[in-house]
Structure 1
């Protein structure tokens, strides 16, 4: 039979004259109707269709026709909204809003207490209208007669025997017993005296008994036939519930009185959800105080309230209030809280246009509320909307006069960073973050550093390292302690962003001052960060080649230097050894500035310097065979550059001055533009002809002690004790001007001052200056 019904329904749905397309069949029990989900062919809107097949259920046709007639005429918010009714020779159709049977939730016992009270309040209020204003009796109040709409509201249906008590030929008197499972739900007085007993008792008696059955089903899942049991019934409702289902119809509590008792102060219908339902339709007409009370109730709602009701009923009214009624940030907070539960297509259809318009609102409170809830909305906003519409409106917040707006704007960058294009990130966004990094508020500076650390992966590779180094190292010098800590943490988090060269030359030098910070926790964090970078630099250094010098074909010196050899492990050995190795690898001739000596005069550096051939040089020694001198440099005199005579420097008073002046950082903190290592060495050319060739550098020959002793004996200065010669005066020698040798000019090597400041890199995009 069910298969036949489905086949007939499908045939009707395919007919061109039927304006609705039937979909899935919805299972409902204890009903003469078949329920289908359907759509309207004209616009595709969702609806439900109740179908009654005349041929298969002809005895209950009067009940079906009564339901069609009452559905057309009965209008109330608690009644199923009827869109259309269609009668053919074979079937009857009632087209309604999309609904679902309440019995689904009742059998699964999935209703929360607050939702159950809210639904019972709606049904009791609807019965109050039917019994009072319409002077009618429903006659079949039970869970199978109640449905839920798309908004989650409970709607009363099942009008098969609904009858007006002003009609003596009402259907309920004749066909009331034809309802499915009527014996289990019929009141005791009807069981004894038939449906005509309605006339002898209060009009509300039958529906009050049915309402008691519904209360029991809602809280227990199934009606066992015993009305009055208080199992699982809320304690505040038990007394009124018992009076609804009492056996004496004259003592039963009417639905109107049931609502009245529930709405008393502290009553079972005094819940935030019910109060919100009563006030939502008139929200736009409320005063500021009434609206404030309403919003406070809205904030008190728990998470287990029906979401569909907020989406379909509350949300549209709140949107009207915030856009046109001056609802303010509290209304907006409620909107965004509800919007967080919407599907993406629903969010884009209902909320996105409003959010875009609100971002241009000059009200700072609205702006801060939007920024604060942006993490909840970001997933539902499309990339195009964020990049083209929302972010351009957000940028004014970076320069707003109110610090709270600037701070919330910086925080709001994180949830939308993945929705921004690379051009926007590396262009506008970085420029604004450069401003907030220098903000007068220390908290904003700190949050900017945190923000940059978290979006480091989104920055362009060409400017990423330069931007982050500038930002984080500036944060390390911030007077605000938490800003310094944020800089250290950001450097730790972005270790992989920097190259090994940047780690060694830029990051590590910037971290070192923090090792002596006045705050202990900064020093501790600086040590942790320093260890991370040192590990990376050391690991990279261990993988590097031993030397970068090109291979040479020259033979190594056969005789090692007396000091500074590769085997010398003393503290000075490495420097001198390195120097000698470089000189040994040098090729070519250096042209001296003085007149070159003849080839025959070239000699070892350790031999005494010869004088003219006519006169013996002073301090000369007796003729003897000269012993070979050690030549650690392994080259001739001609291969050595002729030193230039320079003025003798002033004596150095302080040891630190001998290392060169260590200038402080310049104003912007990034070093001077000059590179001291590229500056050419200054030379002072001699303007007069030198009297004698300078003595070349002696690198370790035997000292001419005898010559020095002879010179001292010729001079008037007394010799040191123990070094005095014979009292016999030496024979004076006649010396001519031509034969007298001039003393050798003293070679002075000026101390070279090294500027340790890093050279500024070329700034090609202007971003580096933005941090200064």
Structure 2
């Protein structure tokens, strides 16, 4: 082999320039040519090279020169495509498209019946053109003269003896006997009278007989001689009658290849197969209507297994891509493109499909966009990361804000597919901003899918923003009025439990998950129980690593020991005993007068209906009487202000979950601070005057709660006419002569006022629920 390559290279160096390099030799049946695989030197593209050695086959030189001349002049889609030829005194080279001999597949019987019909149909069309339009005789139809192109199409070659009946010096009558293995394929009239009888018979006679032998050989795998032509076991029954007429012993009565082709194309004929119909219609796909296009694609799906894979890549795929991009092929055509794309190599995919995909993402057609997003899993592995970040994702994000809900939803789902290809900057910046918007979408399904998406891409988020973003997003979803959104949030919390610190689990996540235990939906309650068990198990494990006790600070220790506990036995473990002890401890620690701040600020203004505060004197705790207990009961409304947790210690809901992670805090123009307020702080509708306090100052919550209680009671139960409460700050003198407003025997004037009472516990609970349900308005 090395010797042959060196000899060929030496011959080329002495002759005209030939821009093709020789590769491996390809074995061919009996032929005057030696076939090599080759490449074009300019671009490295594949080709085949037919080589003829003049010195070794000088007697067959006329056949070789005839082949070169006919291949240059005869142009047809079914004929081998010639790229270049070189002819010298010592050699002849013909460079063609990359070819594979049909005889390889025939001997192995590796082609399906439908594929054989498809190939014979192509050869029949080419022979009809040669016999009828070119008025020529091929004279050498056999598997050695038929080749498969890179697209899998059958191409006709072997033009060594091709002769025109109009030529006086036709090569076939003179040199037909020099064609290799001509005796085995020779028609009966030629074997009896020689090649000269061809001028006395119809032009198609010789090629029709040889086409019959070709049919026998491709279906049976071999052809041993004319005696075996009557064995039609493997030939399709629908072809038997026409096959016999091709082999008629009388050349004048013999069916032409053109007639055979017409018989097969008839309704119900042997050439009426989906494979052949698709081949004929695929080139006009862009011109077909929707109904015709759908019918063709349906046939294409049926024959996908019978079609050569190369034909799909080289012929069908380009037509489908043109139909999608320019011919209105739509989503169905693109789905077929993706199925074919799975059979392509990375280089083929990058050169054929990737450029079209990038252009389609810029297409404003919503149907195309949805189809692209649906098929993104099939092509994401083939797309380079740089291309996804620079070209595809910038076009893809328009779907997050599209007016069509289906586009927004498919875009959210596609995030799971595309996120492995995105850079950290895009994931933690632009992507989170768009997901923040879809988390507040008007469509509940989109909100739910956004929560699921965040749970699945949680580990792709940056470590600095991950916990903050997820806690805010899942806390919001837990308040979603859509049941599936709440369930998705709980499932996402369960899946991402290891991404939060134990402190966040205990202080931020458990408080927002606990209300789900009493959700109206049983599925949510069950999922909440499972999720809480995961978090509680983690917190219990963490708590075992903490110290058993923490040393109190010196100031707190002295303050505690300096004040005795009141009225609670040491062995009293009841709930009431614990509560009284806590309250007295708080009151003891907060001994002293409630005064304004020491920084010289003005005294807080009180409503006129509220009595001035009573100074608590705790100098003699031992002398407290039962009146002190009554005072505790009467001023019980001041207890929340004493035992309420300090919002500066991390309990501020707005600080925990209201931070803007790219849009979660911006809901319909309402700022984060207004949307999630401290549940312990007064609402904005309360008409109270506030005063800043120093560290030891204490606001008058008792007076505020009393006024608030009166305003609520008045709003809910207005007093009858005549019993309205007069102003406590301004006394109106009755007019002269007017009768004083007196009641009873003594005539003393009485002022009727609403009794003070604490805000009922049910009202406080209802107010808290109203505040929590207010989150539903944001959706």
Question: What TM-score does the superposition give when structure 2 sets the normalisation length?
Answer: 0.71
SS in 1 for 2:5: helix
1:19 Cα deviation after fit: 2.3
Q: Indicate the SS of the match to 2:631.
A: coil
Q: Tell me, in whole angstroms, the C-alpha distance in 1 between the residues paired with 2:137 and 2:10.
A: 36
**How far apart, in 2, do the equivalents of 1:19 and 1:421 lie?**
45
**What residue is the counterpart of 2:157 in the other structure?**
157
1:160 partner SS: helix
Residue 316 of structure 1 is aligned with which of 318, 333, 348?
A: 318
- Equivalent residues of 2:163, 2:170 under 8 A apart: yes
| CA RMSD between the two structures | 4.7
Question: Secondary structure at the residue paired with 1:521?
Answer: helix
Q: Give me the whole-angstrom Cα distance separating, in 1, the residues matched to 2:343 and 2:415.
A: 22
2:452 corresponds to 1:447: no
Residue 161 of structure 2 aligns to a residue whose secondary structure is coil
Q: Secondary structure at the match of 1:462?
A: coil
Distance 1:337 1:570 in 2: 73
Counterpart Cα distance in 2 of 1:233 and 1:571: 99
* Alpha-carbon distance in structure 2 between the residues aligned to 1:228 and 1:518: 82
Change (3 A) 1:462 1:241: farther
Structure 2 equivalent of residue 166 of structure 1:
166
Instruction: Provide the rounded CA distance (Å) in 1 between the counterparts of 2:623 and 2:266.
Output: 113
Alignment of 1:243-392 (within 5 A): 243-286=245-288, 290-291=292-293, 293-392=295-394
Q: For residues 455 and 676 of structure 2, what CA distance do their matches in structure 1 show? A: 24
- Secondary structure of residue in 1 paired with 2:222: coil
Cα contact 1:14–1:21 (8 A) shared by 2:
no
Change (3 A) 1:485 1:345: same
Q: Corresponding residue for 2:119?
A: 119
The verdict on how the C-alpha distance between 1:483 and 1:108 changes in structure 2, with shifts beyond 3 A counting, is farther
- 394-403 vs 313-322, greater mean Cα deviation: 313-322
Please name the residue that 2:464 is paired with.
462
Q: How does 1:169-248 map to 2 (within 5 A)?
A: 169-225=169-225, 226-248=228-250
2:50 corresponds to which residue? 50
User: What is the aligned partner in structure 2 of residue 649 from structure 1?
Assistant: 632
Contact 1:152 1:308 in 2 (8 A): yes
- Residue equivalent to 2:10: 11
Q: 1:633 — aligned with what?
A: none
Q: Which residue of 2 aligns with 1:672?
A: 677
Cα deviation for residue 318 of structure 1 reads 3.6
Say which SS state the counterpart of residue 487 (structure 2) adopts: helix
1:545 CA drift (Å): 3.5
Q: Does the 8 Å CA contact 2:652/2:678 hold for their aligned counterparts? A: no
Alignment partners' CA distance in 1, 2:623 and 2:93: 117
Change in Cα spacing, 1:364 to 1:573, as seen in structure 2 (3 Å) is closer
* Alpha carbons 1:84, 1:95 under 8 Å: kept: yes
Post-superposition Cα deviations, 1:409-447, rounded to whole Å, max 9, x if no partner, equal 112222211121111111111111111112111221222
Separation in 1, partners of 2:47, 2:5: 18
- In structure 2, what is the Cα distance between the partners aligned to 1:114 and 1:12? 44
1:681 deviates by: 7.8
Q: C-alpha distance in 1, partners of 2:549/2:182?
A: 101
TM-score, length basis structure 1 = 0.72
Shift in alpha-carbon separation, 1:523–1:238, aligned structure 2, 3 A: farther
Question: How many pairs were matched up?
Answer: 641
**Aligned 8 A contact 1:228 1:241 in 2:** no
Residue segments in structure 2 that go unaligned for 5+ positions in a row: 594-617, 646-650, 655-669, 682-693, 701-757, 766-774
For residue 482 of structure 1, what is the aligned residue in structure 2? Answer: 484
Distance (whole Å) between structure 1 residues aligned to residue 345 and residue 54 of structure 2: 41
SS at 1:461 equivalent: coil
Query: Cα distance, 1:400 vs. partner?
Result: 0.9
For residue 392 of structure 2, give the secondary structure of its aligned residue in structure 1: helix
Q: Which runs of 5+ in 1 are unaligned?
A: 584-589, 595-636, 685-749, 757-767
CA distance in 1, matches of 2:623, 2:105: 105
> Aligned partners of 1:161, 1:393: CA distance in 2, in Å?
59
Q: Is the 8 A contact 1:471 1:771 kept in 2?
A: no
Q: Give the direction of change, closer, same or farther, for the CA distance of 1:307–1:592 in structure 2 (3 Å limit).
A: closer
Q: Residues 641-697 of structure 1: CA distance to partner in whole angstroms, max 9, x if unpaired?
A: 999x9992344999x999989999999898534789x9978499xxxxxxxxxxxxx
Look up the match of 1:60.
60
Cα gap change, 1:418 to 1:150, in 2 (>3 Å): same
SS at match of 1:240: helix
1:13–1:22 contact (8 Å) kept in structure 2: no
Question: Higher mean Cα deviation, 274-283 or 463-472?
Answer: 274-283
Structure 2 matches for 1:491-502, cutoff 5 A?
Answer: 491-502=493-504
- Measured after TM superposition, the shift of residue 535 of structure 1 is 2.8
Shift of 1:165: 2.7
Q: Secondary structure at the match of 2:49?
A: strand
- Residue 724 of structure 1 corresponds to none
Which residue is equivalent to 1:106?
Answer: 106
Q: 1:300 to 1:441 in 2, by over 3 A?
A: farther
The one-character-per-residue Cα deviations of 1:598-618 (angstroms, maximum 9, x if unpaired) are xxxxxxxxxxxxxxxxxxxxx
Q: Is the 8 A contact 2:653 2:678 kept in 1?
A: no
Output one character per residue of 1:18-47: Cα deviation in whole Å (capped at 9) or x when no partner: 322222222222222111222233443332
| Mapped contact 1:49–1:94 kept (Cα < 8 A) | yes
Give the match's secondary structure for 2:124.
Answer: helix
| Deviation at residue 73 of structure 1 after TM alignment | 1.6
Render the CA deviation track for 1:165-188: whole Å, top value 9, x for unaligned: 334543222332333333333334
Q: Distance in 2 between matches of 1:641 and 1:260?
A: 122
CA drift at 1:249: 4.2
- Residue 696 of structure 1 corresponds to none
Aligned-partner SS, 1:648: helix
In structure 2, how many angstroms separate the alpha carbons of the residues matched to 1:448 and 1:282? 43
Contact 2:286 2:328 in 1 (8 A): no
